């Protein structure tokens, strides 16, 4: 059987790495795009058997470079995304203009599918630049290519994430942890392997014209998540609610760091629950049930943050 060709943008990220492995194991041939093959290529080269993965370095996503790549593939998947803006990395370019261009090309060459990763909980967050850029991206895609599938996950976590791992580092180093909005904001964390199961299912069953919210089995408040992480790393820390004014000032300062822990825009997003909205179907409605519990999965890699590492006694 001829292998199906999948063109993958954002392949080196947390979701991309896991997806490359899953797709290539299932007989799909992946062409992965990265901005720097030397920085990121080593992560991907080990993810596939010979012949199943091509790496292409593109410093910028100009139409003349992307056109011939899309023309050759059957399915295009876009996982490019950022959490904060820096110089050339602007939300509008990456979350609105790039999906706009890719979905136009998907339509021009009548691809079997264009699968795009947006975010959950952004419909309410109209005062956030991140949320607006993602929502505008969704609108462009819907206008350009009816068959497209838009996936909207809550927090996606794994040993490769920038969420649980960063918080375990902070919790193990800081004597106390500031929390925002009393830690009441709710999330439905989904393990990366279950999100990529959803993507594989969509490809295998040829599901089209769909916007799907991707949620894990639990709804946890931010405070509950921090307490799970604290239990996992065997530490006790005070969780101190910050008044809004102080939270805003701290975000203003923190966003000046090269890799900011918190930006003013992220603080705005944190106001809004990140759980199923009722507007769209979820993976559960399609029978793709995410079962992995946050605490169980975190325990599989949290020993790295415990004093004594893997030799810690439970």
Ligand X SMILES: NC(=O)c1ccc[n+]([C@@H]2O[C@H](COP(=O)([O-])OP(=O)(O)OC[C@H]3O[C@@H](n4cnc5c(N)ncnc54)[C@H](OP(=O)(O)O)[C@@H]3O)[C@@H](O)[C@H]2O)c1
CB 189 → ligand X: shortest distance, Å? 8
Report if residue 137 touches ligand X, rule: CB under 6 A: no
- Minimum Å gap between C-beta 214 and ligand X is 8
Q: Is 55 in the site for ligand X (CB under 6 A)?
A: no
Residue 27 or 166 with smaller CB distance to ligand X: 166
Nearest one of 122, 60, 71 to 97, comparing CA atoms: 60
**Could you give the 3-state DSSP secondary structure of residue 115?**
strand
Assess 268 for contact with ligand X (CB under 6 A). Answer: no
When asked if residue 177 is in the footprint of ligand X (CB under 6 A), the reply is: no
Q: Reduced to 3 states, what is the DSSP secondary structure of residue 281?
A: strand
The backbone region for 162, taken as left when phi is positive above 0, alpha when psi lies in -120 to 50, beta otherwise, is alpha
Scanning 74-82, 180-188, 244-252, 256-264 for contacts with ligand X by CB under 6 A, the matching segment is 74-82
Q: Which of 142, 300, 168, 283 is nearest to 237 (CA)?
A: 168
- Rounded distance, CA 196 to CA 201, Å? 8
User: Is 121 an interacting residue with respect to ligand X (CB under 6 A)?
Assistant: no
Taking phi over 0 as left and psi of -120 to 50 as alpha, with beta for the rest, 43 belongs to alpha
12 is a site residue for ligand X (CB under 6 A): yes
In whole angstroms, give the CA distance from residue 203 to residue 23: 10
| DSSP conformational letter for 291 | -
In this complex, which beta carbon is closest to ligand X, that of residue 43 or of residue 241? 43
Number of residues that bind ligand X (CB under 6 A): 22
CA 137 to chain centroid, in Å, comes to: 15
Q: Is 62 in the site for ligand X (CB under 6 A)?
A: no
Closest of 29, 32, 38 to residue 15, by C-alpha: 32
- Per-position DSSP letters for 207-222, written without gaps between them: --SEEEEE--S--EEH
Query: Which of 6, 7, 8, 15 is in the footprint of ligand X by CB under 6 A?
Result: 15
Site stretch for ligand X (CB under 6 A), options 23-31, 155-163, 275-283, 298-306: 155-163
Given 8, 14, 171, 251, the residue binding ligand X (CB under 6 A)? 14
Question: By CB under 6 A, which span of 79-87, 99-107, 142-150, 288-296 interacts with ligand X?
Answer: 79-87
Under the binding rule (CB under 6 A), the answer on residue 81 touching ligand X is yes
Residues listed for the chain: 314
Are 32 and 56 in contact, with CB atoms under 8 Å apart? yes
Judged by beta carbon, residue 163 or residue 303, the one nearer ligand X is: 163
Residue 196 interacts with ligand X (CB under 6 A)? no
Nearest residue to ligand X on Cβ basis: 13
Q: Would you count residue 40 as binding ligand X (CB under 6 A)?
A: yes
Q: Per CB under 6 A, does 34 bind ligand X?
A: yes
Structure tokens at 265: 């825009």
Which positions touch ligand X (CB under 6 A)? 10-16, 34-35, 40, 79-82, 89, 94, 117, 119, 153, 155-156, 163
């Amino acid at each position: 059987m001829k292998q199906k060709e999948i063109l993958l943008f954002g392949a080196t990220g947390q979701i991309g790495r896991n997806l490359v492995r899953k797709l290539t194991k299932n007989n799909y041939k992946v062409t992965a795009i990265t901005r720097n093959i030397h920085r990121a290529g080593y992560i991907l080269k080990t993810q596939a058997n010979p012949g199943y993965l091509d790496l292409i370095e593109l410093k910028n996503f100009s139409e003349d470079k992307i056109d011939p790549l899309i023309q050759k593939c059957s399915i295009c998947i876009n996982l490019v995304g950022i959490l904060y803006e820096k110089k050339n990395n602007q939300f509008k370019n990456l979350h609105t203009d790039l999906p706009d261009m890719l979905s136009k090309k998907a339509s021009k060459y009548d691809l079997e599918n264009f699968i795009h990763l947006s975010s959950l909980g952004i419909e309410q967050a109209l005062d956030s630049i991140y949320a607006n850029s993602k929502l505008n991206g969704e609108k462009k895609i819907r206008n350009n290519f009816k068959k497209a599938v838009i996936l909207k996950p809550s927090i996606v976590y794994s040993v490769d994430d920038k969420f649980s791992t960063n918080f375990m580092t902070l919790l193990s180093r800081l004597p106390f942890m500031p929390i925002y909005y009393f830690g009441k904001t709710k999330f439905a964390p989904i393990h990366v392997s279950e999100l990529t199961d959803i993507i594989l299912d969509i490809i295998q069953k040829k599901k089209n014209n769909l916007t799907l919210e991707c949620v894990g089995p639990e709804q946890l408040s931010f405070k509950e998540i921090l307490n799970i992480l604290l239990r996992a790393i065997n530490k006790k820390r005070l969780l101190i609610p910050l008044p809004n004014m102080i939270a805003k000032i701290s975000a203003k300062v923190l966003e000046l760091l090269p890799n900011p822990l918190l930006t003013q825009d992220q603080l705005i997003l944190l106001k809004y629950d990140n759980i199923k909205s009722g507007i769209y179907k979820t993976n559960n409605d399609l029978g793709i049930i995410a079962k992995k519990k946050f605490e169980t999965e975190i325990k599989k890699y949290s020993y790295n943050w415990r004093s004594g590492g893997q030799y810690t006694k439970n």
